Structure 1
């Protein structure tokens, strides 16, 4: 096991255990399958705002593949840094697609007045926060690549800062989403959930409300995972979590795979087909006898 000693005799180990091949292989396979399923859904719906989510799933897959290489050489810095960075920065990519989904829900329902943040700023604010979190976590992971004890400690502190930024923005996002959802339902904007689609996916029927609940579930899973990673890095390299590999799989791999499963079952792109077409995404939905429809019929364009 590779260690770097400080003057006080403190040892920094890349791993406090030998990474498990079966566990890493299982989750690499899980994330690869989820990536394929999301790509299929994305291709069918042309919901290009979900590309960051797919990239995040591929990062997770590559990260766990890197852990397999670490099993054979726990002193190799390359695989260690790759798995650390890719597994760390995947959730901010998930978050980017989640943030953009809420903005589309607000626009499609023509319900900007129900949101506590103007829709023109809604996605921008959260995506900017997401980018800051992403860059801090990437920077922290990259700083750790220097391999010295000082660099490892400083890099870990930067990663913690990125995770805290992610937690703050995610927490605020949940509040904004819940307030919008409550206001929309209270004012019976769509109390019967009549705006629905028949997706070419796993669900027979999907509504904007079901998408909101899927977003809540995904946010909860990512929040729990982020709290776990903050505690892990605050405890330090010799902490309780760093010494127990199974905790990584329970509170990171399992939770992130569940996030992918939730959003492949309730895939938001089916509610916004062709969202790569800006004209369609900007058209509000208005109440009709049969539910909701575009304010302007496509056939008249």
Structure 2
């Protein structure tokens, strides 16, 4: 393993915390994989890859407890944990487009559905590239490049915040409009338990919760990297587990419970042609 004389951590990474989160991310990711196989929900592939990133990332972080000067282990855990939420975001963006089509509510979306997913996923890809590039630069282990890498990551996180904010506004606007003027499909699939019902309202609520959790995590990361390697947040490991690991675990659990396939495949309503292509037969390029 490559090593550096530069201090990569301001503490000794916790072995117990890393192992616990690697284990629980493994469990929820395995459940997501089972749900994906069962439902043929191809649009959730990025989400599952994000879970795998978390498992490997926290596994590497456990190794860093014994090799705190290894730039290789540092790079693996830093990059994978940093990038996982962008993969969650990609699936979340794709789900909204499918919900709109499923409810036959294209006319209620302010952003044309054929562009909606592409716009947000492209923003997510840009964020992914910037954060990945910044993490790669940081892994050099030198003080100057570490600072450069941190600011590249900040740029990537700001892009993520911008697109997530726009996504939430788009989702809420659609939600308000379809609530005021529900389509026949929206009325036929509505349950009796409000936001906690396993219908399209519950799914949209789950998307809001997941998005807000990722936003909180991204804001934390922006502040962390702006403060720099000697900052208060990065110097205290507890913040990583409270505002990143725990938040992302909750995102995965929320989407386990409100898995999109329950609404998009199992509601008993005829599935629109656009969505049939993504149910295990062929990829629907219009929805990415």
Q: Report if TM-score (shorter chain) is over 0.5.
A: yes
CA–CA distance in structure 1, aligned partners of residues 276 and 114 of structure 2: 11
Tell me the CA shift for residue 269 of structure 1: 2.0
Deviation (angstroms), 1:119: 0.3
1:149 Cα deviation after fit: 1.3
* Structure showing the higher helix proportion among its residues: 2
Q: Secondary structure at the match of 1:72?
A: coil
User: Structure 2, unaligned stretches of length 5 or more?
Assistant: 278-288
Q: Which has the higher strand share?
A: 1
Report the CA distance between 1:192 and its aligned residue.
7.5
Contact 2:104–2:183 (8 Å) recurs in 1:
no
Q: Distance in 1 between matches of 2:92 and 2:111?
A: 16
Alpha-carbon contact 1:49-1:100 (below 8 Å) kept: yes
Note if 1:189 corresponds to 2:183: yes
CA distance in 1, matches of 2:31, 2:256: 7
Deviation at 1:282, TM superposition (A): 6.2
Contact 2:186 2:200 in 1 (8 A): no
Cα distance per residue 1:100-158 (max 9 Å; x no partner) = 00000111111111111000000000000000000000000111122221111111110
- SS of the residue 2:182 aligns to: coil
Structure 2 CA distance for aligned equivalents of residues 192 and 144 of structure 1: 48
Max radius of gyration: which structure?
1
CA contact (8 A) 1:50 1:97 kept: yes
Of 248, 251, 255, the match for 2:240: 248
Q: How does 1:196-211 map to 2 (within 5 A)?
A: 206-211=198-203
Distance 1:80 1:190, change over 3 A: farther
Query: Equivalent residue of 1:206, what SS?
Result: coil
Cα shift at 1:270: 2.3
TM-score scaled by length of structure 2: 0.88
Higher mean alpha-carbon deviation, 102-111 vs 123-132, is at: 102-111
Deviation at 1:19, TM superposition (A): 0.4
| Equivalenced residues, count | 267
For 1:260, the equivalent position in structure 2 comes to 252
Specify the SS of the correspondent of 1:74: coil
CA distance in 2, matches of 1:269, 1:160: 34
Matched, 1:120 2:114: yes
* TM superposition score normalised by structure 1: 0.84
Which of these residues, 160, 163, 169, is aligned with residue 157 of structure 2?
A: 163
> Closer, same or farther in 2 for the Cα pair 1:278/1:15, shift >3 Å?
farther
Q: Secondary structure at the match of 1:172?
A: helix
| Residue 216, structure 1, aligned to residue 213, structure 2 | no
Q: Give 5+ residue unaligned stretches, structure 1.
A: 5-12, 198-203, 284-301
